[in-house]
Structure 1
Amino acid sequence: MALPRFIARYEAGDAWLAGCSARPDLVRAAWDTESLAPIASGAHWLVAEGQLATRYDALARIPIQLRGPVLADPEADRLWWLVPLTAVEELADVRQVAVRPPGWCLRCPPAGWQIGGRMWITRPDGSGLLTDPAVLAAAFGPGGYRVEAI
């Protein structure tokens, strides 16, 4: 009986993601036809983009509880992290990622499945959690992100 639990979790992510669009109805309509939905950045989050093949190790360095949604497209060799609106300055010196400007459209599948090869490595869960730019920047450092000692 785990299936209803997964459906509820995916629906929460879908609702949050669609709600990040100016037209949630168009996002849902795209998903209903198994198409990627273009969602513009800037109202709720920005997009930090990097290469999948050479940046996946940084993703693995970030603990899951600190990781916001991360979208991957293996064919295009791309990873996209959803980051806070303040990320531009914090990631300006991180050459491994490019922060896309507000209004840049990320073509997204729903949380629960892949479309056109794109899939969520870390799915939106409805909480609104985004990847902290400082944590993302640290993950690209020589030692990776390190949990603070208590």
Structure 2
Amino acid sequence: MSGLAAVLAGRQAPGVHRWESALDVADVQHAAEHAGWGFGYVDGAALDARADVLRAIGSALGFPDHYGANLDALNDCLRDLAGPTVLLWDAWSGFARAEPRWFGLVVEVLGDRGEAGPPVEVLLRGVGPADAVPLLA
């Protein structure tokens, strides 16, 4: 968990990373919340369409009912998160392979927080395109 620990402690910038860890979801959630970060989880095993992925992210992060499940709404709702947040996304590669262009756009919105709201660390766990995003070591 050293890479995640570095992010949670502010020693590494948050972003979108591939993450090789076998920790239980509950353990990742506990670590994030213990550090004062929010937590969301997406099981992407059956998600390969953009709309389904965007809805799953919105549900995992507790977005409001009016969330429009599009890139602009994703960006707006990320900006409105209560604080720094970890999103653990298991089995992400189905979407990355089915809709590579849209996967890239979703990753761009998730990772490009800049000054637009609290930091978000997205952990892409599981096998997937190695060149999609950097590995969190």
More strand as a share of residues = 1
Q: Same fold (TM over 0.5)?
A: no
TM-score normalized by structure 1?
A: 0.25
Give 1 or 2 for the bigger CA radius of gyration. 1
**Larger relative contact order, structure 1 or 2 (CA cutoff 8 Å, min sep 6):** 2
More helix as a share of residues = 2
